[in-house]
């Protein structure tokens, strides 16, 4: 196939990579339905994909990964800045020259026996001033079809690259060359010690090797839209955050835009599509994972969702918890590491009903019976679906101008200590709350080991493309830029448990009650009571009508235990110590103020 572009930079790069990786063929992708269908047919024939029941799940497919390749690999992820100190204490670092040497060794001949796909894609609406044009080179057809859904894949991007003579290069290989006549495996990938997810922030360059999974391989997502974009945003005065974006509209039609940062597998997709239980209030989805935000001409902060689809956690997704996600995956969806039932539909744990037929093929590609008690879907199994299929997608979701953010929400999974909701006294304390957000570990990252609590600033620890201390300072700087137009900051915790392990808060749709309280605060409709950690609801303002929450459970959800918070503050101090003189003075100031309030 002759190359469908005249851009010399792009042609040279493709030629250079092809020379290094020696694919059998090169295919330039155009993002068309014909291309998608053709690749799916090929993958079904090769045994990599399973076509699902056309009646039950039209145009949908299931994949099972290699059991070793089921999530992001944070200990194989690198920020290879020129200077080590610029990667900071939260990132792995290798000298970029040395890392490139190592990776070139791995890339040499790595696409032998495979096709190299050239994927032109845009993160953000094509041609929008905030969007980024990019090319992913990959030898994974699974990556191509997922990129079709998650990003905007189009030859229009080639035209923009020709005009602007610039693009963000993303190189990906599964790292499994095929010898002459060698049969391919169902899910080719490299052993863990050969996997590298590498970022060269000064060059806006991404090199990924050895994994075919999600955030390791769909390079527009975590690698570009968060790690590289956060480094660009830090330099250029905007923000790239691990945040959902939603619009919450009250009965009078007043709109509030909320951006919320929760760590992986802590409820962003669920909150983004929430079905409000507060009469007359409704939620519309703008994004479920990533927000790019810039101050607008009116001085407010405007957010866009750079993605085009959802790559959501399957287990726990049910008619009860997230009906809008279920509706989004009725057709044209891809499923990875779920159960394929006997009648070729999909199932996962906590889907709201037992597996039809009692079993099927599990995520490890083996025959499986629910009655045997083993999990059928991997806890980090995922669906990929076009955002446009979400019944509550907001009409502004592709507006290149974005939506003005009124409220930031931070949070994580804490079964103890953190109350249901509290509000920051001001933006600077809000930054402190976001910067010291903490969570108990989840299944979305493979390798966090046996830790009980992980500090996860702004849910961005695995995604900050530069020094996390500089990143915190950037948040304070944005506060100064925005002044009194800065969003109001809140901290939530949906995950408190009783001593015998039951949820204290019903969560999901009922979280709308908490969002409404936030909006009432923004509008000045309700007062709040001061506690050492921030402002909290006055009894009655956060309505519990119709909920069956015993008074002692509510008291527990609203409790601020000074002793527990002093312990968390000590943990935060220990965590922040590793930032050394890069820790913003404002963080130290906030800690001193919090300590004083807790001791008062």
Residues near ligand SPV, by CB under 6 A: 72, 214-215, 221-222, 264, 289, 311, 444
Helices (H) and strands (E) in the chain, counts: 15, 31
Q: CB–CB of 67/381 below 8 Å?
A: no
Out of 117, 256, 494, 565, the residue judged to bind ligand GTP by CB under 6 A: 494
Instruction: Confirm or reject binding of residue 268 to ligand GTP (CB under 6 A).
Output: yes
- Is 264 known as a binding-site position? yes
Annotated ligand binding at 380? The verdict is yes
Which entry of Mn ion, ligand GTP, ligand SPV, none binds 141, CB below 5 to 8 A by partner kind? none
Site for ligand GTP, residues 411 to 450, rule: CB under 6 A: 444
Contact predicate 76/190, CB 8 Å? no
Dihedral angle of Cα 23, 135, 150, 115, to the nearest 10 degrees? -10
Least Cβ distance, residue 259 to ligand SPV (angstroms): 15
- Alpha-carbon torsion angle 459, 223, 386, 165, nearest 10: 140
Distance of CA 265 to the CA centre of its chain: 9
From the CB of 302, what's the least distance to Mn ion, in Å? Answer: 21
Is-contact 142 136, C-beta < 8 A? no
The span from the CA of 176 to the CA of 138, in Å, is 12
Q: Which is nearer to ligand SPV, 60 or 381 (CB)?
A: 381
- Residue in the shown chain whose Cβ atom is closest to ligand GTP: 507
| Count of residues engaged in binding ligand GTP, rule: CB under 6 A | 22
Binding residue for ligand GTP (CB under 6 A) from 289, 345, 406, 556? 289
Q: Which of 175, 312, 386, 404 binds ligand GTP (CB under 6 A)?
A: 312
Token duo for residue 82: 């020129």
User: In 3D, which of 150, 153, 304 has the Cα closest to residue 217?
Assistant: 150
Smallest separation (angstroms) from Mn ion to the CB of 112: 33
267 binds, among ligand SPV, Mn ion, ligand GTP, none (CB under 5 to 8 A by kind): ligand GTP
Residue 283 binds ligand GTP, judged by CB under 6 A: no
CB-CB neighbours of 369 under 10 Å = 14
d(CA 124, CA 416): 38
Q: Is 516 annotated as a binding residue?
A: no
Q: Does residue 266 touch ligand GTP according to CB under 6 A?
A: yes
| 3-state SS class at 6 | coil
Residue closer to ligand GTP (CB basis): 143 or 444: 444
3-class secondary-structure state, position 297: coil
Tell me how far, at minimum, the Cβ of 418 lies from Mn ion, in Å. 20
Please choose, out of 286-294, 517-525, 548-556, 557-565, the segment that lies near Mn ion by the rule CB under 5 A: 286-294
SS3 call for 206: strand
Backbone φ and ψ for 288, nearest 5 degrees, come out as -120, 0
Does the annotation place 269 within a ligand binding site? yes
Report residue 148 as tokens: 């079709």
| Minimum distance, C-beta of residue 444 to ligand GTP, in the bound complex (Å) | 4
> Does 597 carry a binding-site annotation?
no
Which residues make Cβ contacts (< 8 Å) with residue 434, sequence separation at least 6? Answer: 261, 408, 410, 457, 458, 475, 489
The mark string for 507-526 relative to ligand GTP (x by CB under 6 A, - otherwise) is xx--x---------------
Q: Is 69 in the site for Mn ion (CB under 5 A)?
A: no
Of the pair 215, 584, the CB lying nearest ligand SPV is at 215
> Among Mn ion, ligand SPV, ligand GTP, none, what does residue 495 contact (CB within 5–8 Å per kind)?
ligand GTP
88 touches ligand GTP by CB under 6 A: no
Catalytic residue among 29, 110, 170, 266: 266
**What's the distance, CA 346 to chain centroid?**
23
User: What residue 221 binds from ligand SPV, Mn ion, ligand GTP, none (CB within 5 to 8 A, per partner kind)?
Assistant: ligand SPV
Tell me: is residue 72 an annotated ligand-binding position: yes
Measured CA to CA, the distance from residue 559 to residue 561 in angstroms comes to 6
Report the DSSP beta bridge partners of residue 78: 92, 198
| Contact between residue 476 and residue 395 where contact means Cβ atoms under 8 Å apart | no
Q: Burial of 159 by CB count in 10 Å (0-12 exposed, 13-18 middle, 19+ buried)?
A: middle
402 labelled as ligand-binding?
no
Least separation, in Å, of the C-beta of 530 and ligand SPV? 34
* Nearer to ligand SPV among residue 421 and residue 444 (C-beta): 444
- Which of 5, 77, 81, 270 is close enough to bind ligand GTP by CB under 6 A? 270
Q: Is 270 annotated as a binding residue?
A: yes
Active site residue 390: no
Structure letter (DSSP) for residue 401: T
Q: Tell how far CA 319 is from the center of its chain.
A: 22
**Is 456 one of the binding residues for Mn ion (CB under 5 A)?**
no
For residue 407, what are the β-bridge partners? Answer: 258, 488
Q: Does 289 participate in binding Mn ion (rule CB under 5 A)?
A: yes
The binder of 222, among ligand GTP, Mn ion, ligand SPV, none, by C-beta within 5 to 8 A per type, is ligand SPV
Please report, in range form, the residues annotated as the binding site for GTP: 265-270, 382, 508-511
List interacting residues with ligand GTP (CB under 6 A). 262, 264-270, 288-289, 312-313, 315-316, 321, 444, 494-495, 503, 507-508, 511
Residues that are catalytic: 266
């Amino acid at each position: 196939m002759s190359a469908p572009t005249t851009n010399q930079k792009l042609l040279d790069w493709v030629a250079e990579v092809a020379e290094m990786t020696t694919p059998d063929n090169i295919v330039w992708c155009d993002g068309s339905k014909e291309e998608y269908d053709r690749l799916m047919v090929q993958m079904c024939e090769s045994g990599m994909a399973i076509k699902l029941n056309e009646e039950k799940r039209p145009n949908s497919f299931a994949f099972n990964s290699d059991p070793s390749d089921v999530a992001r690999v944070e200990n194989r992820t690198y920020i290879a800045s020129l200077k080590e100190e610029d990667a900071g204490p939260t990132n792995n670092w290798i000298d970029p020259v040395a890392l490139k040497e190592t990776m070139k060794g791995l890339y040499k001949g790595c696409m032998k026996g495979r096709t190299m796909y050239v994927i032109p894609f845009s993160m953000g609406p094509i041609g929008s001033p905030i969007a980024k044009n990019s090319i992913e080179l990959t030898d994974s057809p699974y990556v191509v079809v997922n990129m079709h859904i998650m990003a905007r894949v189009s030859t229009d991007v080639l035209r923009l690259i020709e005009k602007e003579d610039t693009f963000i290069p993303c190189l990906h290989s599964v790292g499994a060359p095929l010898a002459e006549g060698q049969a391919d495996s169902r899910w080719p990938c490299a052993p863990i010690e050969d996997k590298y997810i590498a970022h060269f922030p000064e060059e806006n360059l991404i090199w990924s090797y050895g994994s075919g999974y999600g955030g390791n391989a769909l390079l527009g997502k975590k690698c570009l839209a968060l790690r590289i974009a956060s480094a660009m945003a830090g330099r250029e005065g905007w923000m790239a955050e691990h945040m959902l974006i939603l619009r919450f509209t009250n009965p009078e039609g007043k709109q509030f835009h909320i951006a919320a940062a929760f760590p992986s597998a802590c409820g962003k997709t669920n909150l983004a599509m929430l079905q409000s239980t507060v009469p007359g209030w409704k939620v519309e989805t703008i994004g479920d994972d990533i927000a790019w935000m810039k101050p607008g001409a009116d001085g407010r902060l405007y957010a866009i969702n750079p993605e085009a689809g959802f790559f959501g956690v399957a287990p726990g997704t049910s008619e009860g918890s997230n009906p809008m996600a279920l509706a989004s995956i009725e057709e044209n969806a891809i499923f990875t590491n779920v159960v394929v039932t006997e009648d070729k539909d999909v199932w996962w744990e906590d889907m709201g009903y037992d597996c039809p037929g009692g079993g099927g093929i599990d995520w490890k590609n083996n025959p499986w019976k629910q009655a045997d008690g083993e999990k059928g879907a991997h806890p980090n199994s995922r669906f990929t679906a076009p955002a446009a299929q979400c019944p509550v997608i907001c009409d502004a979701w592709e507006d290149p101008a974005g939506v003005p953010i009124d409220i930031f929400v931070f949070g994580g999974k804490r079964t103890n200590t953190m109350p249901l909701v509290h509000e920051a006294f001001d933006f600077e304390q809000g930054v402190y709350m976001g910067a010291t957000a903490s969570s108990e570990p989840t299944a979305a990252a493979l390798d966090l080991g046996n830790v009980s609590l992980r500090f996860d600033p702004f849910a961005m620890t695995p995604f900050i493309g530069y020094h996390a201390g500089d990143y915190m300072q950037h948040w304070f700087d944005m506060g100064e830029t925005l002044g009194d137009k800065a969003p109001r900051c809140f901290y939530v915790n949906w995950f408190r448990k009783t001593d015998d392990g039951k949820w204290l808060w019903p969560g999901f749709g009922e979280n709308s009650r908490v969002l409404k309280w936030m909006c009432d605060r923004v509008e000045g409709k309700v007062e709040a009571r001061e506690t050492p950690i921030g402002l909290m609801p006055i009894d009655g303002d956060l309505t519990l009508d119709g909920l069956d929450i015993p008074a002692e459970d509510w008291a527990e959800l609203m409790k601020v235990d000074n002793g527990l918070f002093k312990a968390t503050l000590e943990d935060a101090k220990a965590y922040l110590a590793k930032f050394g003189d890069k820790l913003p003075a404002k963080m130290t100031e906030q800690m001193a103020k919090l300590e004083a309030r807790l001791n008062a």
